[in-house]
Structure 1
Amino acid sequence: MVTERKRKVRELDASFNRAQEQVSEEQLRKKRGLFRRLTALAVIVVTLSVVAFMTIHTQAQLIDEKMEERQALEAKLEALQLEQVYLEQEIENYNDLEYIAEIARRDYFLAKDGEILFKLPKLSTD
Structure 2
Amino acid sequence: MLSEKKKVTEINQPYVKKQAREQERLQAIAEKHRRGLIRRLTALGITGVAIAVVFTVILVSQWSMLEAKKTERAALETQLEELQAEESRLKQEVQNYNDLDYIAEIARRDYYLTKPGETLFKLPEPTD
Q: TM-score with structure 2 length normalisation?
A: 0.85
Identity %: 45
2-structure distance, mates of 1:42, 1:93: 75
CA distances 1:100-124 after superposition (whole Å, capped 9, x unpaired): 1110110111111111112222221
What one-letter code is carried by the residue in structure 2 that aligns with 1:57? V
The match for 1:27 among 23, 26, 30 is 30
Q: Give, in angstroms, the shift of residue 15 of structure 1.
A: 4.5
The match for 1:47 among 46, 50, 60 is 50
**How many residues of Structure 1 are paired with residues of Structure 2 in the alignment?**
125
1-structure distance, mates of 2:72, 2:18: 80
Q: Give, in angstroms, the shift of residue 3 of structure 1.
A: 8.6
Structure 2 residue ranges without an equivalent (≥5): none
RMSD (CA atoms): 2.2
Within 5 Å, give how 1:1-126 maps onto structure 2.
7-10=8-11, 11-13=13-15, 14-125=17-128
2-structure distance, mates of 1:56, 1:30: 38
Please, which moves more after superposition, 17-26 or 81-90?
Answer: 17-26
Q: Give, in angstroms, the shift of residue 19 of structure 1.
A: 3.0
**Residues 79 and 4 of structure 1: CA distance in aligned 2, closer, same or farther (over 3 Å):** closer
2-structure distance, mates of 1:94, 1:7: 127
1-structure distance, mates of 2:35, 2:86: 76
CA distances 1:50-87 after superposition (whole Å, capped 9, x unpaired): 11122112111111111111111111111111111111
Q: Give, in angstroms, the shift of residue 18 of structure 1.
A: 3.1
2-structure distance, mates of 1:122, 1:49: 75
1-structure distance, mates of 2:118, 2:106: 16
2-structure distance, mates of 1:59, 1:3: 83
**Residues 40 and 77 of structure 1: CA distance in aligned 2, closer, same or farther (over 3 Å):** same
